[in-house]
Structure 1
Amino acid sequence: MGTSKIEAMQTSTHIDDIHEKVIHASNVIVPLSPISMFAARSPWAGLEHKSFDDIARWLKEARKVDMYPARTTILEAYHNNEIDHAYLEQHFQQWLDDTSLAIPREHAEQYGRNALKLQSLEIDPEVQVQLETLAERLRAPVKPKLENSVPLISTYIKDEKNERLIDTIDYHIIKWCKLYVDDAQSGWTMPNRDKGLFYAWRRLVAHDPALTKDQRERLKSLPDDADALLQQALSQLNIAEQDVQTYLENHLLSLPGWAGMMMWQDEHNHKVHDLLFSYLAIRIGMEWAIVEPYLPISKPKEMDNSDIEVLIASWMQWGNMSIQTWRGLSVEAQQAHIQFAHQFNDQLCRKLWLAAWETTYNQQLKEKLTPTPTTQSKQAQQTLVQMAFCIDVRSEPFRKQIEANGPFETIGIAGFFGLPIEKEELGSKYSHPSLPVMNQPQHKIKEYTHEHEPNAFQQRKHALESVTYTFKKMKQNVLPSLLLPELSGPWLSLQMFTRSFVPRSVGNMIRKFYTNWLRKPHDTALTLDYKTQHYNHKHQHIHFEDGLPVGFTDQEKVNYTLQALKLMDLTSDFAPLVVMCGHGSQSANNPYAASLDCGACGGAASGFNAKVLAQLCNLSEVRTGLLQEGVVIPETTIFAAAEHQTSIDELTWIYVPELTESARNAYDHIEAVMPEISYQANKKRLAQLPNNNLTERNPNQEVHRLTNDWSEIRPEWGLAKNAAFIVGKRQLTKQSDLAGRAFLHNYNWKHDETGTILDQIIAGPALVAQWINLQYYASTVAPHYYGSGSKTTQSVTAGIGVMQGNASDLLTGLPWQSVMSADYKMYHSPIRLLIVIQAPQSFIKRLLENNEAFKQKVTNGWVRLASVDTDNQWHDWSH
């Protein structure tokens, strides 16, 4: 009895240990949300406890993934004057100073400067034979031991068709993942899907015709429990205990997209449990079943003589050494030169170029930021409209056009306006979190119609959904699908023809259809009051829905409103009209449409949040509560809400209450100039899109064509070229042309004595900006691994993501067209985000002391940090 208890305790300990290892291993991937709620994420968010350069070196060794820009990208940036060569030399000399050199400095400088030209190494065939002789005298350079240097066994083995077994394993895993996560795209669902991935796989894999009989038998011999199966498979693969976590990490990195989807499902689907663990158990179980006949195997050597020959040849080309000069060196000196060449490799060259690129941008931005004095005494009376926009880089050029066309002031704040809500719009079956994905909603806000209104909108919407549902079901059933082409063919052919040749006209017609037939009632209301809700023609008392309180208490209304006003530094000098401006985008036939809405909020356009905050600001009880906090909003000031359509640079009003006379004058003024604002904004933005000759086209008509053309691969640039996050007064940036590359957040350190507001900005909006920046960066430097390839060859799979072909990883990043203007022409500049804070140095020191996570990002090179002090002096805080 005692022995059984001890064995049970040991088994339990092993199970807990393997689960702990899976949790730690999962840091190498990030959750991947469905494409319909695309959320920008840094692919390295879980690795920031290590330096950017360490992770770059590890990924290059472990996965052959390069985190530094390619040679062609760097040279193109250099020719475009984005990189100052003087900064390259500066960083090169600094690297030499920080490195213990075992060779003469002049040798290192000559070799380094030539290697930094990024030219390909060319070995003369006549010299090749001599190189082989020279290499025999030397031993391979010592390579530092990497923590994650435990490659998968299946990467070493090829089958009789000369195909790597790891590719076979990936093929099978993709198949099972597609079956399990399918979001109603297929007509038949996976049997036993409701009982979990592992259970369903275990019941079906024994009948998989794609596996051999022996492979199926080996799988049958494994335990029926995921924990036991994983541990047994690792043991039979002879993975040492100290290498298990690393082995799990490399399996996750083999298909980071599908693994990321499993992680997301784990976090967001309450019906699943330990899905990522099941995924790993299945992968490693199948790996053992497939590679077992080949065990044991011998691993190839890390470096052989051919590598040494290349390093010697590099000294011939970049060190300007002759064979005779090399022979004249002692063996120790030759070894030291080989070691230096091994260290000063292509990856290091591009690292130094990246540092020079970023330093050049720092200097260019520093020269642009010139604070302009303002006359505070008259400013409030002169400003007719104050408009709060999202920090999104696409807002900056639009804001500049608005400010140039009248007495208008623009403000930058995160587009969810600090409201931790889940929204349910009128006519929608589902609610949607409308806040950054790293946060959880605290309230649910629903849109409803008043009792006296007929609910015709919902009836029409339901009718359209019924037609769509019927069409889909007919496609998926055998007999109706035979009839469907005869019924739908003429209409779909007409749609294809008109969408291809007259997309703007068709788009206008469809928009009118939705505007007129599916138009929401004008005066829909929101469930802002926590205690009493009015909707569905009833008077009900509902406090919670899906675990969230519906609406706000009176104190929460005041608190959220005050917080938002403080974040946008708008607590006095209110204009007659204050407009909360959310943003969204529109495009046709675009799987990545959600990525053009709000990159932080899972594809949720932020107009809804803008409407919530504007309505809160107009409530008398909120204004009374704000008055007690020292915030006085004049009775003549009215808050409204609008949405900036980024693909067409238009402003759509979504909430305009009854206006005072002064507010009406302000509204009429902004409406009168808005056509000119849109025209100029579109003209400037279209000039950046390839193949757009604006001399013969009306910018406003052209952007509508782009958004409605179903063959258009680039309706807008999204957040490409983002490079800086600037926290400060608008006067710091107002006179600068930031070229749509900067996230702008209003901030006045004088109104933030404790630094609380700055902490909130750095912990929220700045983090979002960093994630967006690194996602664009990753999609540019490693498009085959972190991007999603060309839009023209993508296919939507399982209703939740895109693939290239029918058996690829679930693609995690942005398509090629979002970062490149042509196949071999760069558009996005892959540099790490520069955060600039306008505040005294004491504020920055306090921020870094109190926020260890942010300090880690700066110290380890995941973001760069600079500040502008009270004397307008620039300070660089990056190491």
Structure 2
Amino acid sequence: EVAPQCRTASAAGFFAVAMYYQGADHASFRPLCPAIVEPQHYVREEPLFSSMAAGERRAVRRRRLGWFAHQVHQNSRTLIGGWVTGLFGAIATVPMVARILAPRLTSQIRESMGSLVRPPATELHLERLGNNPGSDPESMGYSLDEMSQIVVRILQDIGMVKDFPPTIVFFGHGSGSLNNPHESAYNCGACSGGRGGPNARAFAMMANDPRVRRRVSQLGIELPDEVRFVGAYHNTCNDDVDYYDLDLLPRSHRELFRGIESDIIETRARNAHERSRRFESAPLGLTPQEALEHVEERAEDLSQARPEYNHATNTLVTVGRRDWSRGLFMDRRAFVTEYDPAVDDKDGHILTRILQAAIPVCGGISLEYYFSTVDVEGYGCGSKLPHNVASMVGVMTGAASDLRPGLSQQMVEIHEPMRILFVIETTAEMLSRIIVENEGIRRMVEGNWVQLAIIDPSNSAIQRYVDGHFEPHLVSDMQLPTVQSSMRWYRGQRDHLGFATIQEPESDQPMNSSESNASAAGALA
């Protein structure tokens, strides 16, 4: 709606970059890939070679601050330290009260202070010099051949194998909020509850490497020299967007990028506005800019138990060409996964690997919400308000309880418990064979943990998978409401809405060749 000249596509949010990742200010590596995948590769974020000295000084500051905080924490439990803590403890109430009364301003101040210890400009240790992957410096990263295979896989998955736009932005996603012991449940499911920004950044670096592109061309995809990839990160809690390695963007692409950035700024505000209608504390009459400020404030509010609803209300996964869902308002209830049958081979290898990730990840997210909704105290974890983090492995209720599994009451209160429906653009014969040949998919399908339907690519006929076979599905009502914009359809409504067709907006100005090719490729979860 914001930029009709743009094309969007989507893929599982780890972008086939399965890795153990260590940020520049992280103490250890963590996996960024689906839980069913065990990474073999290690990637570390490091200061730029020209900023190594400044990076080390900031690292020293972080270590000293960490040591000081640890000493205060330890000594506050001694006899003398307890008295000192009691005398100066009132000082700690100042930032606490500020985070409640003025969370957005407090966040901006804290962000400014953080520049003293935040790493300077960084790069990823992405290319491996040794033969075998490992965690030592010589073994970190990927070989050029491995990078080229990752690039080809994702481009095939999203059906982008020719007619490339000059700038393609890959968005990883995650969530950040101040007071949330369940924060990883809001992050990227395809990254094992981590944040997908590093995966998007790594993919963009791989795809921009001319040595990788030469190997990609040998594998059948010609990436023109003028095409540039940009990695980005979308914080789904406050709708903030960060871009990586913009200094590497050629000057010829910067004007186009500024246009894309401007569209994304407008999209952030509209996205925040659409999300805010589900928050009871957000007035329905907010403007998009006011809604953006509202979600930014929620993320930093120490008293906020509902920073975002994330995947609550999920009911549907589409796996097919973006064209047949473009312009369809789905009330934020669908995972949209790109797949073009025309790019796939007769054995469906591309579809198989898409479903090997999409069904466990999206089905798992759906079941997590399903069980936590039908029994929030048994399968879920009850209210998050009395939760305490226990040994950094889970949460418990109050001062003593078993570890609580599942999602909290505040995360599922607007969710409708139902088994998620996959609508896949393929034939019955191909999907039946994929189910039989893949144990993980077969167990999910035959156990009725997920529902399946197909759209035949040749004639658009719809069939549902029922008790081991496909049955024709007759659509009783072919008419959908048509509205001028999403906002016209949902404004003033807090409850679930039906589907609607959004009219294609007209551009204010004629598109030139660069504008007509602008594209953003985004992640699902």
Shorter-chain TM-score: what band?
Answer: 0.7 to 0.9
Q: Secondary structure at the match of 2:317?
A: strand
Residues 317 and 335 in structure 2, CA contact (< 8 A), matched pair in contact too: yes
Quote the Cα distance in structure 1 between the aligned partners of 2:256 and 2:117.
30
Task: Check whether the contact 2:14–2:190 (CA below 8 A) recurs between aligned residues.
Answer: no
Distance 1:732 1:476, change over 3 A: farther
CA drift of 1:856 comes to 3.4
Distance 1:543 1:783 in 2: 43
Query: What's the secondary structure of 2:87's corresponding residue?
Result: helix
CA contact (8 A) 1:643 1:652 kept: yes
Contact 2:158–2:340 at 8 Å: present in 1 too? Answer: no
Q: Does structure 1 retain, via aligned residues, the 8 Å contact 2:76–2:84?
A: no
CA shift digits 1:712-733 (9 cap, x unpaired): 0101101101111111011121
Aligned twin of 2:70: 469
**CA distance in 2: counterparts of 1:643 and 1:836, whole angstroms:** 28
What is aligned with 2:104? 504
Is 1:701 aligned to residue 293 of structure 2?
yes
Cα deviation, 1:299-355, whole Å, max 9, x if unaligned, reads: xxxxxxxxxxxxxxxxxxxxxxxxxxxxxxxxxxxxxxxxxxxxxxxxxxxxxxxxx
Contact 2:314 2:334 in 1 (8 A): yes
- Asked if 1:832 is matched to 2:422, the reply is no
Aligned residues: 460
For residues 601 and 529 of structure 1, what CA distance do their matches in structure 2 show? 21
Q: How far off its partner does 1:846 sit?
A: 2.4
Q: Is the Cα contact below 8 Å between 1:443 and 1:548 reproduced in 2?
A: no
The 1-side partners of 2:138 and 2:39 are apart by 8
Q: Which residue of 2 is the match for residue 808 of structure 1? A: 401
Name which one, 1 or 2, has greater alpha-carbon Rg: 1
Q: TM-score normalized by structure 2?
A: 0.83
Deviation sequence 1:98-144 (CA, Å, 0-9, x none): xxxxxxxxxxxxxxxxxxxxxxxxxxxxxxxxxxxxxxxxxxxxxxx
AA aligned to 1:717 is Y
- For residues 45-67 of structure 1, the C-alpha deviation after alignment (integer angstroms, 9 at most, x for no partner) is xxxxxxxxxxxxxxxxxxxxxxx
1:623 partner SS: helix
The code of the aligned residue for 1:500 comes to: I
* Equivalent residues in 2 for 1:389-468, closer than 5 Å: 404-453=2-51, 454=53, 455=55, 456-468=57-69
Q: Cα distance 1:418–1:622, how it changes in 2: closer, same or farther (>3 A)?
A: same
Alpha-carbon distance in 1 for matches of 2:136, 2:120: 26
Q: For the Cα contact (< 8 Å) 1:582–1:605, is it kept in 2?
A: yes
Deviation at 1:742, TM superposition (A): 0.9
Aligned to 1:385: none
Secondary structure of the residue aligned to 1:875 is strand
Alpha-carbon distance change, 798 to 448 in structure 1, aligned in 2, over 3 angstroms: closer
SS at match of 2:282: coil
Q: Give the aligned partner of residue 733 of structure 1.
A: 325
Question: Which amino acid letter does the alignment assign opposite residue 755 of structure 1?
Answer: G
Distance in 1 separating the partners of 2:91 and 2:311: 36
Tell me the distance in 2 between the aligned counterparts of 1:689 and 1:795. 25
Alpha-carbon shift at residue 694 of structure 1 (Å): 4.0
Amino acid at match of 2:58: F
Q: What is the CA deviation profile of residues 191-235 of structure 1, one whole-angstrom value per residue up to 9, with x for unaligned ones?
A: xxxxxxxxxxxxxxxxxxxxxxxxxxxxxxxxxxxxxxxxxxxxx
**Equivalent pair of 2:41/2:133 in contact (CA under 8 Å):** no
Structure 1 residue 518, shift from structure 2 partner: 3.3
Structure 1 contact 861–878 (Cα < 8 Å) conserved: no
Do residues 637 (structure 1) and 235 (structure 2) align?
no
Give the counterpart letter for 1:594 in structure 2.
S
Q: Does the CA contact (< 8 Å) of 1:597 and 1:603 recur in 2?
A: yes
Equivalences for residues 45-56 of structure 1 within 5 A: none
Matches within 5 A, 1:112-151: none
Which residue of the other structure, out of 458, 465, 489, is the alignment partner of 1:877? Answer: 465
Q: Distance in 1 between matches of 2:353 and 2:302?
A: 41
**One-letter code aligned to 2:295:** V
Q: Which runs of 4+ in 1 moved over 4 A?
A: none
- 1:446–1:526 contact (8 Å) kept in structure 2: yes
SS at match of 1:749: coil
**Shift in Å at residue 865 of structure 1?**
0.4
Deviation at 1:837, TM superposition (A): 0.4
User: Which residue does 2:335 correspond to in 1?
Assistant: 743
Structure-1 residue corresponding to 2:127: 529
- Aligned-partner Cα distance in 1 for 2:172–2:158: 14
Q: Do the aligned residues in 1 keep the contact of 2:10 with 2:158 (CA within 8 Å)?
A: yes
Q: Is the 8 A contact 1:413 1:746 kept in 2?
A: yes
Match of 1:769 in 2: 362
State yes or no: 1:793 paired with 2:375. Answer: no
Deviation of 1:547 (Å): 12
Specify the alignment match of 1:779 in structure 2: 372
Helix, strand or coil: the match of 1:581?
Answer: strand
Q: Which has the higher helix share?
A: 1
Q: Is the 8 A contact 2:230 2:246 kept in 1?
A: yes
Q: Is the 8 A contact 2:384 2:410 kept in 1?
A: yes
Structure 2: runs of 5 or more not aligned? 468-525
1:508-550, Cα deviation, whole Å (9 max, x unpaired): 2112222x3233322x222222116xxxxxxxx9963279941
TM-fit CA distance, 1:807: 3.4
Q: In the alignment, residue 465 of structure 1 is paired with which amino acid?
A: G
Q: Structure 2: how far apart are the matches of 1:405 and 1:606?
A: 24
Which AA in structure 1 matches 2:108?
N
Secondary structure, aligned partner of 1:713 = coil
Where does structure 1 lack aligned partners over 5 or more consecutive residues? Answer: 1-400, 533-540, 821-826
In structure 2, distance between residues paired with 1:525 and 1:805: 42
Deviations 1:831-870 (A, max 9, x none): 0011110112332232233234423322221110000012
- Whether contact under 8 Å (2:40, 2:133) holds in the other structure is no
2:190 and 2:69 map into 1 onto residues whose CA distance is: 30
In the aligned structure 1, how far is the partner of 2:285 from the partner of 2:349?
50
**Quick one: which amino acid aligns to residue 711 of structure 1?**
S
Distance 1:849 1:799, change over 3 A: closer
Confirm or deny: 8 A CA contact 1:642 1:655 kept in the other structure.
no
Aligned 8 A contact 1:444 1:548 in 2: no
Counterpart residue number, 1:710: 302
1:261-276 matched pairs, under 5 angstroms: none
> Does the 8 A contact of 2:360 with 2:440 survive in 1?
no
Alpha-carbon shift at residue 558 of structure 1 (Å): 1.3
Cα separation, partners in 2 of 1:546 and 1:779, compared to 1, 3 Å: farther
Question: Aligned partners of 1:437 and 1:853: how far apart in 2?
Answer: 13
Corresponding position of 1:856: 443
Equivalent residues of 1:683, 1:694 under 8 A apart: no
Structure 1 residues 796 and 848: alpha-carbon distance in aligned structure 2, compared to 1, 3 A threshold:
closer
- Match of 1:484, as an amino acid? T
Aligned mates of 1:480, 1:775 — CA distance in 2: 44
Out of 429, 435, 452, the position equivalent to 1:865 is 452
Alignment correspondent of 2:513 = none
Map 1:665-684; keep pairs closer than 5 Å. 665-684=255-274
CA contact (8 A) 2:239 2:296 kept: no
Please report how far the alpha carbon of residue 634 of structure 1 lies from its aligned counterpart in structure 2 after TM superposition.
Answer: 1.0
User: 773-782 or 423-432, which moves further after superposition?
Assistant: 423-432
Deviations 1:227-272 (A, max 9, x none): xxxxxxxxxxxxxxxxxxxxxxxxxxxxxxxxxxxxxxxxxxxxxx
Whole-angstrom distance in 2 between the partners of 1:675 and 1:547: 38
Which one of 842, 848, 859 corresponds to residue 429 of structure 2?
Answer: 842
SS in 2 for 1:447: strand
* Contact 2:133-2:142 at 8 Å conserved across structures: no
**Range 737-746 or range 669-678, more displaced:** 669-678
Q: Distance in 1 between matches of 2:286 and 2:460?
A: 44
Q: What is the CA–CA distance in structure 1 between the aligned matches of 2:91 and 2:188, rounded to whole Å?
A: 34
Q: Within 5 Å, give how 1:259-658 maps onto structure 2.
A: 404-453=2-51, 454=53, 455=55, 456-487=57-88, 489-514=89-114, 516-522=115-121, 524-531=122-129, 544-545=134-135, 549-658=139-248
| Deviation (angstroms), 1:640 | 0.9
1:440 positional shift: 0.5
Asked if the contact 2:368–2:406 (Cα under 8 Å) also holds between the matched residues in 1, the reply is: yes
Q: How far, CA to CA, are the matches of 1:877 and 1:739 in structure 2?
A: 25
The alignment-based identity, stated in percent, is 28
